[in-house]
Structure 1
């Protein structure tokens, strides 16, 4: 499978890793469906890349009806869905117990809802659409790519919720790949390290430089285009399935 003539649903597609993925899909002759809550950025991306190439609908990944609606529109507009890249996610920083008391359960649950349950919600609904595709010459009907984090493996202090959500994505990768194998749908996860995304966008340059220096090589923050490049490689390589791929420059996070 390649990006030419593909229709790729990208959650969190209005900025950061998702935006880079959308731009790369369109640059290689594919169509993109953006699922995001940021209307301003989503509409700007449609203006930039063209309504013939991109569909954007403000959508909450944890809302079943909203996700179903945008996927139905996508099939009506583009005829099919061949890939799904899940980049939508949030984070917070709270110790399990601090001077303010225990980590608020509501705050923990919100991160799990968006990052883990939201990802699974989109997976299951896009996969159902993909089962209707005609298989290509290698028997493929679709590819699903999720976004975890190195925090799934080396969570730092204050990252209990974020690490749990990303660890859940890692843990469900292989079972879902096995579930969908009979339909010719591959499932993989990318675990990025420190990347130049909106999460770090407001940080001072000296802070970004210090974070980049933590990476063995190359000693810098990753670029969203490098994430998009890996997405493309995964889509194009039919033997990749059921795996989690670290994209981190050999980074191993310290406790804090």
Structure 2
């Protein structure tokens, strides 16, 4: 006989979202808040973060956090846990995506400092937040399913098919994909699930600010639906993963069947 699983409502979610004041992070925060969740927005930009909390409303809170700082992440997690009582969802959306070819047209090598900055924020920052969130979650009581928390990290289809000029970005996102399963295996004993989402071309505010012809070109290669992905679709997938207790150790592509061309 199959054991009965109890699904928690979204209103019981207490979530930390890095990069939470814009783009996919903010869309996720709004989605959860509208359904009664308690949400902490972690972002390095204080002005944007405070504005995002005012706009999002609900039970939202802002903490200025550099994801690469052990002390800042640890302090913010502790402060939010004391306020909310527990943390059962951590979503990492903080990241940057500058482009640079390995050699430019004059034969000059790409900046090593820029490569390190991208991988430091996107990959090392994601691991830093994940490990400290896991430490916080592991100290909590398990729910009826034996679960103490869920970690969802943001990869990218560039982690599979990086385009020209994306060596740093693709490497950082491939790293997130690569650490998902072993981290899920590491944390299984304490009832913490770990998954990643690999978005395709998403209609974030930054992308929507580009000219129409640029947006059309990006959408043209998407098999179906032939459009940009919606931040709300990313947010809905986060919510589904949070509630579906059998999704673990998985990277889910959210890309309309897009496979990126070289450029």
- Shared fold (TM-score greater than 0.5)? yes
Is 1:72 aligned with 2:78?
yes
Shift of 1:100: 5.3
1:129 corresponds to which of 133, 136, 146:
136
Q: Specify whether residues 232 and 78 from structure 1 end up closer, same or farther in structure 2 by C-alpha distance, changes over 3 A only.
A: same
Structure 2 CA distance, aligned partners of 1:95 and 1:21?
A: 32
Q: Specify whether residues 220 and 230 from structure 1 end up closer, same or farther in structure 2 by C-alpha distance, changes over 3 A only.
A: same
Q: Which residue of 2 aligns with 1:45?
A: 52
Q: Structure 1, residues 202-230: CA drift from partner, whole Å, max 9, x if none?
A: 31112112211211111110110000000
Q: Which runs of 5+ in 2 are unaligned?
A: 1-7
Is 1:32 aligned with 2:39?
yes
Structure 2 CA distance, aligned partners of 1:125 and 1:198?
A: 30
Number of residue-to-residue matches in the alignment = 255
Q: Note the 1:133-212 alignment, pairs <5 A.
A: 133-212=140-219
Structure 1 contact 192–248 (Cα < 8 Å) conserved: yes
Structure 1 CA distance, aligned partners of 2:77 and 2:64?
A: 12
Q: Which runs of 5+ in 1 are unaligned?
A: none
Q: Which residue of 2 aligns with 1:91?
A: 97
Structure 1 contact 2–235 (Cα < 8 Å) conserved: no
- Aligned to 1:84, the other structure's residue is in SS state strand
Q: Which residue of 2 aligns with 1:12?
A: 19
1:21 corresponds to which of 20, 24, 28:
28
Is 1:60 aligned with 2:66?
yes
- Aligned to 2:12, the other structure's residue is in SS state coil
Give the TM-score normalised by structure 1: 0.97
- Aligned to 1:93, the other structure's residue is in SS state coil
Give the TM-score normalised by structure 2: 0.94
Structure 1 CA distance, aligned partners of 2:154 and 2:206?
A: 15
Structure 1 CA distance, aligned partners of 2:217 and 2:119?
A: 29
Structure 1 contact 2–232 (Cα < 8 Å) conserved: no
Q: CA RMSD in A?
A: 1.1
Structure 1 CA distance, aligned partners of 2:176 and 2:205?
A: 21
